[in-house]
Chain A
Amino acid sequence: MLKLTNINKKYGNLEVLNFSEWEIQTGIHWLKGGNGTGKSTLFRIISGQIPFKGEVELNGISLTKEPIKFRSKTSFAEAEPQYPLFITGNELVKFYIEARKAEKKQAEELAHYFEMESFLKNKIGSYSSGMLKKLSLICAFIGNPDLYVLDEPLITIDIASADKLYKLIQEKILQGKGILLSSHQEVSKDKLRLDTVFQIVDKQIVKI
């Protein structure tokens, strides 16, 4: 499914990632590790947000050669999402629907699922951090990508919402999708059946 080859990422002189190959298939994959190990950098590389050296492919589609097609097949939810404060949740959702060529109904169902319908008409500036996180999750699940990249999806959301997220992830797995997530917290193994667990150690991705 996802294949990364000869990846090298530096911030100035600081090398964060350097590995020759990493591959994952469909299923749920957890990337664990402490602060500053490079998890967010790896996720931002996979979602095509930052420049890097190397090659990223999803089901044979190259990020560098076909960036638009690649981006239409992946979805990324940031750990700390930031959106313009003056737009409403609805405006952001509409933008995602247009960009991902998705159905409005799907977005409505997601908003209902995460109990966000009544807040979407409000400006994002008025949202709590939990609401903002739920909004980013709604946006991430809009459309029909093959791979969902969720950076720290559990932070700031309440237990009920986390349970709903677990269920949604399981549904996506049944549809044959891939989920790549990071979390500082232990992922509940009763609620989420992890296929693999990885850790970034010394710029390399290691399977645990």
Chain B
Amino acid sequence: MLRLLIHSLAKEFYQQHAGFFLVGIYILFGVVEPSQLIGYQKALLLAGISSPYGMMVVFVSWLLYTIKVHFFIKQRLELVKYNFIKEIGGLKKNVQLKLWLKLYFVILLPIFIYVLLLIGLSFQHHLFTSVISIIAVFSALTSSLVWFTYQSVTFSFLNQKKKQLSIGIKIRKPFFSWPLFYLFNGQPLMLFMCKVLSLAFFKSMLWMFADVGNDIRILLIALLASVLCHAVLMFTLLKFETEYLNFGKGLPISIWKRLRNWILVFGIILVPEWILLITASHYDLYSIGNGFLFGLAGLFFLLTILYVVKLNMDNYLKWLLFFFFIVMWAILANYYLSFSLILLASCKIYYLIMFDKTDLKVGGI
């Protein structure tokens, strides 16, 4: 049973957060020379355990990760395709708790590795309070996840229907905005976490390269991190379009209008990032223009990959990796403007040609 849970829930979690892990790996391993890597890692870990402020940063990041995991699992358990998991509710309490603990151990593995490293380093530097805090916080987070999942699987019949929040104002919803309303209504936590991570990564990149000074490339690397944080969001949006807006394919709507709708959606989704970009660029129009172009091209490319791989997550990840390296090269080599233009034009051409030739909907022979 554990194998099935790992193959379904854990695998899907790692797949859906590939963009996030990619940026994380880059921050942890990709920003320094290989010869300085161990020293850099040690310095990062020490910064995390040697002061209450550092510990707080570490614990808050773990908490965010845990919240993300919790809502991911919660959402999956609400889906019809995961109804089989409700069978677990018939097992004995301790068997269930052990099962969930093992699953969360797999999902929390990236944190667990750092827990071990931090504990080892704390012992080395006689920081025993840090050891206790690390163990206590990590245990509390894991136990909470296990307990909440146990409760929701075993007592799912007690769940009350969510009350719809209504403020009595009727907002007109033009067709192009339906994917956005879907995010706000159907996936608010995913949207929130995506934005928090995106903005955090954007800021982290700026801080990391603060010594470089005013360089447009830093802004674009920060935007790249933000774009990659939207990998799952883009997957969700296209999935929504495929499942719920498929009827629109039979209507006389021009391909240009459909294309314009996507660009509008990208532009609105990235509003928080645009604000950060504008302020971080010190209102330099060239940087802002390049940032806008790059951000739109980046999200459009994610959409295009999803079309190419027909919503296959495994293949999507491979493309993300490829995208990350190519973009980093283009930015660092100062080819960002031509790269963004070529990317945007290629994605546009692909969409115009392939929209009618691609069937993303599965089933229903």
Q: Which residues of A contact B (CB under 8 A)?
A: 11, 16, 36-38, 40-41, 44, 47-51, 67-69, 71-72, 74-76, 78-87, 91, 95-96, 98-100, 123, 136, 139
Contacts and interface: CB of A to CB of B under 8 A. Distances in A.
Contact of B244 (A11, A72, A82): A82
B249 interface: yes
Contacts of B251: 71, 96, 99-100
Contacts of B8: none
Given A38-B365, A41-B365, A91-B173, A83 B247 contact: yes
Contacts of B246: 49, 78, 82
Interface string B322-365: 00000000000000000000000000000000001111010011
Nearest to A50: B359
Contact of A36 (B164, B361, B365): B365
Nearest to B174: A95
A36 B248 CA distance: 24
A175 to B, nearest CB: 20
B186 interface: yes
17 contacts: A11-B365, A47-B250, A48-B356, A49-B250, A71-B253, A76-B247, A78-B247, A80-B364, A82-B247, A85-B185, A85-B186, A85-B244, A86-B182, A91-B173, A98-B175, A136-B247, A139-B247
B309 interface: no
Nearest to A80: B364
Nearest to A145: B252
B178 interface: yes
Given A67-B356, A95-B175, A99-B253, A83 B365 contact: no
Nearest to B175: A95
A82 B240 CA distance: 10
A68 B256 CA distance: 11
A86 B185 contact: yes
Given A72-B252, A99-B248, 5 more contacts: A36-B365, A40-B365, A41-B365, A51-B356, A84-B245
B181 interface: yes
A40 B175 contact: no
B243 interface: yes
B254 interface: yes
A18 to B, nearest CB: 14
Given A40-B364, A91-B173, A95-B175, A48 B181 contact: no
A50 B361 contact: yes
B250 to A, nearest CB: 4
A82 B164 CA distance: 21
Contacts of A72: 252
Nearest to B185: A86
Q: Rank and list the top 6 A-B pairs by shortest CB-CB distance, nearest first.
A: A72-B252, A47-B250, A86-B185, A71-B252, A76-B250, A99-B251
Contacts of B250: 47-49, 71, 74-76
Contacts of B164: 123
Contacts of A44: 364
Nearest to A78: B247
Contacts of B248: 99
Given A67-B356, A87-B181, A100 B247 contact: no
A40 to B, nearest CB: 5
Interface string B44-72: 00000000000000000000000000000
Contacts of B359: 49-51
Contact of A87 (B173, B240, B243, B253): B173
A68 B252 contact: yes
Contacts of A80: 364
A8 to B, nearest CB: 14
A81 B365 CA distance: 15
Contacts of A41: 364-365
Given A16-B365, A40-B364, A41-B365, A84 B182 contact: yes
Given A68-B252, A76-B250, A84 B244 contact: yes
A51 B358 contact: yes
Given A49-B246, A95-B175, A86 B365 contact: no
A31 B186 CA distance: 37
Contacts of B185: 85-86
A80 to B, nearest CB: 8
Contacts of A83: 244, 247
Nearest to A149: B250
A84 B237 CA distance: 12
Interface in B253-275: 253-254
Contacts of A69: 252
A64 to B, nearest CB: 8
Given A41-B365, A82-B244, A95-B175, A51 B357 contact: yes
A61 to B, nearest CB: 11
Contacts of A11: 365
Contacts of B181: 84, 86-87
Given A41-B365, A99-B251, A86 B186 contact: yes
Nearest to B358: A51
Interface in B162-194: 164, 173, 175, 178, 181-182, 185-186
B252 A100 contact: yes
